[in-house]
């Protein structure tokens, strides 16, 4: 009777599976051919449904970010499907026939022949099948357990599973070996196969009371018909050769004498020099060391920090610098190169801790010293804390990436080597000198194999050190704690904001703001010593509050505690693509200032622009500052000019209440994560990428339908049309117009409409360029850059006249003026630029910096010394300046 019941259950389960399979197949077909609300949302964000893309043959498959929110976005196609390599686009002959469509797409999207050839060569090596190691040696295996040892057949229960750590169903590939490899990869001691297709992993050995006769495990494996994969609620259980992994628990420090030396490995990017100084002030002791790597493209920051080497023997800057990108293989190369350099400096140290300009301590340095002193020899990393197979998929570890042209190109799938545990999580670490010596030393088989893998891995620094630790003799030094608290806000930080540099949908933590203060307070009793991210350009008050929290008592003595300056342009920088716009704009503002001063009887002659800085006070943007040379009364001095953009939001109150419109503004460098523009001065040129930011209050007029946005160029032509769907989830959002560069220079207008009734309008300036590649623009270059891209506009017609649009006569005049403006160069061009800036910016004042530090009168205008002007970048800023070493070995900033 029992046998009959078992047979009945088997066939009932099979029948149930068939019914479910049929149901889901029909459901999939309906979803594929009928668009959903989610499909429409993705389409607005630049994605279309998987079924539609496969039918139209327009995209290649993307997959998996590092967090849950973006799984759908990354699993959708994003690259144009090209089934065959177009050899005519290459100036070399490939060594093989490229078959993978993702590789073909990457080759054709790459801009340079060097990068194309690099992708081709690597893809050919991978296609040969010998590029990646198939198996690697794990040096952290068990002394009691043996890989593949069969423990027997065990009875399982639906509500009380034998192995509970992982479950997967593999209809075509399951076998004991297949399941063992999955469980080893995840670091579990036991693997089990059941019901032919099911694979289980677990940490604890099944109880002996559950063991049954081997004949009960009678189902053949789909991946190997010669082996058996359990049965109906019976499981073949195997040892993986690993012990149960338990991270080390660090000790809480006692009253012992602190004795620890730390190398702070600062990996810096951007232009936040004063915040870097503030970080060094907080961490500096003569007993510790600072090794600073500045991104190769950040000439300003590197040049300014070089002075520290001369002043402090325990501060060194990296000689070999890398151009790193988010998620790039170059990040890991940079870390390993820096650690190699550190090991050769002759420093004696107990820990290396990597930090960025966005990190800041949330406990005193003395507390960190005590903690690390009590835990020497441990290695601190933070694991992902999720199912390993899911982590691999979402992190893209099973894909091959190639970095070139400061881009991570995805070129296909790969299989990770057998035999090793895969781990990862955070790329912020604290490592012992013994482990670092192993990693940078003579490579064994494990390190050599991992080096090949991680050279072609997205986000390699987030997994490399973890994986080496788990598979090396250092596995018993692993502590699951990177000493950091990170301000993750997944819904804000996972906006695919890095897709321009990686073929992936990535996430990034948010900046701490004052409203996040409780998160920092909650770390008081935890073994956490740093937090990230902090950016004073976004919120400086939180940093000041943290300083007080960790023991600073000098705030009442500090001048300009609430002021912040950040550099935008420096004359000594290597030429950057945005410099033409900034320099053109800055010289125009300086000329406008000269005209204002001439009205006061003060005649000045402006020479070269030295610096442009952003100025904020109490976390409110106050304007930009231009430092420039000038002749005042025939003496060469430095003047700093303070100016600010005007506001141009115009609300139409004729028909309805429009108070619900809080923000309706165009600028560039929009940060989706922080929901703010980083181009605070709204300085835009023909090659900029304007973005419209709108913010509506919850009290939006309920009678309104969906809203329409019109973009009107300086010639009076409609350049783009956008629809804003009015709903609670769309009250704050941004629109990037689909207008090709270059943008036509002049005054652009943007209107917001409800059923062709104007609700609000704003305008923004696309400044013409006086300079091109750092030199005065030529007639040919002006024709090229200032001609706009009107032939790419959408062909939009309106059945009824809209007041926002110019009448035909006015439009004809605008077109004539625009065509004439394209031809302007030299003085004629300068006059046009100045007339435009006069409409969009207010000059607020000027100060002087001279050798005598005296105030200078010029006509009826009296220049104040910049050092005495609170707004000036010359104004004292102790918090953002490296202090002097006192007797205790600290930096005193007062």
Name every residue whose Cβ is closer than 8 Å to that of residue 547 and which is 6 or more positions away in sequence: 282, 555
pLDDT at 490 > cutoff 90: no
CA nearest 560: which of 837, 322, 867?
867
pLDDT of residue 652: 80
DSSP secondary structure string for all residues of 826-867? HHHHHHHHHHHHHHHEEEEEEEEE-TT---EEETTEEEEEGG
From CA 258, how far away is CA 384, in angstroms rounded? 31
The per-residue pLDDT for 30 is 34
Phi, psi (rounded to 5 degrees) for 432: -80, 155
- The closest alpha carbon to 703, from 761, 652, 756, 754, belongs to 754
The strand order across the sheet containing 351-355 reads: 315-317, 289-294, 262-268, 351-355, 430-431, 379-381, 478-480
Q: What is the pLDDT of residue 633?
A: 82
Q: What is the pLDDT of residue 706?
A: 87
Q: How far is CA 596 from CA 240, 590, 601, 623, in A?
A: 80, 10, 9, 18
Confidence of residue 258 (pLDDT cuts 50, 70, 90): confident
Residue bearing tokens 């100025």: 615
pLDDT band at 7 (very low <50, low <70, confident <90, very high): very low
- The SS3 call for residue 617 is strand
Q: Give the residue from 416, 409, 503, 424 showing the smallest Cα distance to 453.
A: 416
pLDDT in tens, 627-669: 999 998 888 899 999 999 999 999 887 756 788 899 999 999 9
Alpha carbons 52 and 539: distance in angstroms, whole number: 43
Give the model's confidence band at 754: pLDDT under 50 very low, under 70 low, under 90 confident, else very high.
confident
- Which range is least confidently modeled, 252-261, 312-321, 772-781? 252-261
- pLDDT grade, residue 700 (50/70/90)? confident
Mean pLDDT over 856-875 rounds to 93
Average pLDDT over residues 92-106: 93
Q: To which residue do tokens 């976390």 refer?
A: 619
Q: Assign 31 a pLDDT band (cuts: 50, 70, 90).
A: very low
Distances, alpha carbon 203 to alpha carbons 146, 183, 295, in Å? 15, 10, 43
Q: Report the alpha-carbon distance of residue 447 to residue 836 in Å, rounded.
A: 60
Residue 796's nearest CA partner among 870, 691, 712, 693 is: 712
E strand or H helix that includes residue 884: strand 884-885
Calculated CA dihedral for residues 647, 648, 653, 656, nearest 10 degrees: -100
Position 731 scores a pLDDT of: 87
> What is the reported pLDDT for 451?
97
List residues bridging with 692 in a β-sheet. Answer: 666, 735
* Distance in angstroms (rounded) separating the CA atoms of residues 849 and 865: 6
User: For the residues 578-589, what does the mean pLDDT come to?
Assistant: 94
Residue 230 backbone zone (phi > 0: left; psi -120 to 50: alpha; other: beta): left
Domain ranges of the chain: 35-127, 150-239, 262-385+413-485+514-549, 561-875
Region 18-24 average pLDDT: 41
On whether the pTM is more than 0.75, the answer is: yes
Q: Provide the total of helices (H) and of strands (E) in the chain, helices listed first.
A: 22, 43
pLDDT, tens digit, 9 for 90 and up, residues 350-363: 999 999 999 999 99
Q: Select the more confidently predicted residue: 850 or 56.
A: 850
Nearest CA to 341 out of 297, 291, 301, 380 is that of: 291
Residues 6+ apart with CB under 8 A from 157: 233
Q: Does domain 262-385+413-485+514-549 have CATH number 3.90.550?
A: yes
- Cβ atoms 569, 611 nearer than 8 A: yes
Per-residue pLDDT averaged across 712-736, rounded? 89
Q: Is the pLDDT assigned to residue 803 strictly greater than 90?
A: no
pLDDT, residue 497, reads 83
Quick check: 544 and 561 in contact, CB under 8 A? yes
- CA dihedral sign of residues 369, 372, 377, 382: negative
Whole-angstrom Cα distance, residue 127 to residue 248?
A: 41
Task: Kindly report the average pLDDT of the chain as a whole number.
Answer: 89
pLDDT of residue 256: 79
Which of 80, 77, 68 is closest to 43 using CA atoms?
A: 77
pLDDT at 463: 97
pLDDT higher than threshold 70 for residue 15:
no
pLDDT bin (cut points 50, 70, 90) of residue 614 is very high
3-state secondary structure at position 261: coil
Residue whose structure tokens are 């590197």 = 302
Task: Give the closest residue to 155 by CA, choosing from 203, 106, 209.
Answer: 209
The number of beta carbons lying within 10 Å of the beta carbon of residue 553 is: 8
Mean pLDDT of 402-416: 96
Place of tokens 């010669």: 226
């Amino acid at each position: 009777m029992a046998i009959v019941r078992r047979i009945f259950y088997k066939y009932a389960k099979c029948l149930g599976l068939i019914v479910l399979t049929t149901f889901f197949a029909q459901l999939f077909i309906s979803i594929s051919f009928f668009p959903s609300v989610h499909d429409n949302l993705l389409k607005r964000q630049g994605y279309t449904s998987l079924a539609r893309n496969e039918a139209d043959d327009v995209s290649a498959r993307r997959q998996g970010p590092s967090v849950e929110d973006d799984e759908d976005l990354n699993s959708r196609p994003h690259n144009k499907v090209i089934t065959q390599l177009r050899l005519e686009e290459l100036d070399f002959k490939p060594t093989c026939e490229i078959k993978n469509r993702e590789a073909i797409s990457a080759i054709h999207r790459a801009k340079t022949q060097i990068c194309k050839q690099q992708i081709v060569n690597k893809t050919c090596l991978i296609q040969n099948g010998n590029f990646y190691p198939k198996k690697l040696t794990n040096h952290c295996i068990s002394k009691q357990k043996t890989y593949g040892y069969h423990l027997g057949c065990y009875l399982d229960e639906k509500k009380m599973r034998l192995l509970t750590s992982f479950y997967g169903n593999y209809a075509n590939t399951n076998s004991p070996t297949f399941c063992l490899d999955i469980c080893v990869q995840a670091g579990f001691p036991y693997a089990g196969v059941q019901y032919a297709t099911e694979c289980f992993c677990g940490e604890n050995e099944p109880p002996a009371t559950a063991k049954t006769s081997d004949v009960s495990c009678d189902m053949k494996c789909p991946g190997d018909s010669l082996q058996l994969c359990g049965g109906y609620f019976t499981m073949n259980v195997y040892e993986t050769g690993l012990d149960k992994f338990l991270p080390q628990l660090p000790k809480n420090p006692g009253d012992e004498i602190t004795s620890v030396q730390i190398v702070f490995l600062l990996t810096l990017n951007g232009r936040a020099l004063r915040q870097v100084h503030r970080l060094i002030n907080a961490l500096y002791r003569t007993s510790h060391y600072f090794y600073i790597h500045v991104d190769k493209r950040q000439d300003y920051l590197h040049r300014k920090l070089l002075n520290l080497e001369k002043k402090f023997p325990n501060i060194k800057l990296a000689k070999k610098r890398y151009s790193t990108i988010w998620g790039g293989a170059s990040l890991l190369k940079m870390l390993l190169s820096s650690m190699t350099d550190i090991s050769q400096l002759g420093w004696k140290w107990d820990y290396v801790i990597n930090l960025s300009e966005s990190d800041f301590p949330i406990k005193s340095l003395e507390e960190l010293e005590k903690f690390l002193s009590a835990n020497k020899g441990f290695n601190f990393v933070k694991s992902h804390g999720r199912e390993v197979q899911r982590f691999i998929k979402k992190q893209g570890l099973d894909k091959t990436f190639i970095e070139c042209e400061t881009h991570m190109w995805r070129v296909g799938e790969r299989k990770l080597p057998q035999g090793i545990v895969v781990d990862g999580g955070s790329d912020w670490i604290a490592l012992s000198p013994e482990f670092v010596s192993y990693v940078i030393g003579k490579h064994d088989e494990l390190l050599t194999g991992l080096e090949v893998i991680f050279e072609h891995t997205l986000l390699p620094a987030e997994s490399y050190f973890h994986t080496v630790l788990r598979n090396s003799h250092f596995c018993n030094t692993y502590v699951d704690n990177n000493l950091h608290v990170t301000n993750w806000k997944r819904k804000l930080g996972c906006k695919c904001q890095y897709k321009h540099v990686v073929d992936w949908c990535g996430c990034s933590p948010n900046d701490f703001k004052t409203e996040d203060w409780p998160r920092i307070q909650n770390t008081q009793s935890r073994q956490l010593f740093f937090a990230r991210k902090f950016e004073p350009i976004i919120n400086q008050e939180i940093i000041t509050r943290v300083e007080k929290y960790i023991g600073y008592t000098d705030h009442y003595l500090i001048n300009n505690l609430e002021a912040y300056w950040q550099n935008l342009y420096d004359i000594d920088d290597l030429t950057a693509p945005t410099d033409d716009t900034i320099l053109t704009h800055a010289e125009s503002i300086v000329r406008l200032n000269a005209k204002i001063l001439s009205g006061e009887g003060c005649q000045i002659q402006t020479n070269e622009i030295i610096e442009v800085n952003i100025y904020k006070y109490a976390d409110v943007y106050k304007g930009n500052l231009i430092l420039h040379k000038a002749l005042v009364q025939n003496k060469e001095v430095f003047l700093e000019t303070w100016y600010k953009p005007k506001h141009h939001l115009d609300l139409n109150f004729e028909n309805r209440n429009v108070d619900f419109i809080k923000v309706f503004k165009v600028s560039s460098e929009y940060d989706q994560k922080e929901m703010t523009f980083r181009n605070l001065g709204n300085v835009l040129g023909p090659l900029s990428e304007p973005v419209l930011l709108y913010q509506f209050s919850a009290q939006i007029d309920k009678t309104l339908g969906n809203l329409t946005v019109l973009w009107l160029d300086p010639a009076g032509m409609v350049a783009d049309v956008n629809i804003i769907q009015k709903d609670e989830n769309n009250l704050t959002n941004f629109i990037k117009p689909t207008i090709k560069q270059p943008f036509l220079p002049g005054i652009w207008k943007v209107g917001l409409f409800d059923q062709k009734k104007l609700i609000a309008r704003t305008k923004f300036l696309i400044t013409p360029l006086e300079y091109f590649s750092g030199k005065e623009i030529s007639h040919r270059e002006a024709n090229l850059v200032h001609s706009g891209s009107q032939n790419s506009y959408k062909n939009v017609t309106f059945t009824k006249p809209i007041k926002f649009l110019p009448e035909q006569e006015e439009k004809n005049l605008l077109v004539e003026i625009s065509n004439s403006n394209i031809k302007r160069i030299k003085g004629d061009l300068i006059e046009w630029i100045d007339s435009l800036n006069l409409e969009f910016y207010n000059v607020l004042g000027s100060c002087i910096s001279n050798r005598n530090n005296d105030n200078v009168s010029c006509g009826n205008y009296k220049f104040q010394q910049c050092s005495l002007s609170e707004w000036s970048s010359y104004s004292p800023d102790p918090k953002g300046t490296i202090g002097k070493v006192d007797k205790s070995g600290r930096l005193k900033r007062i």
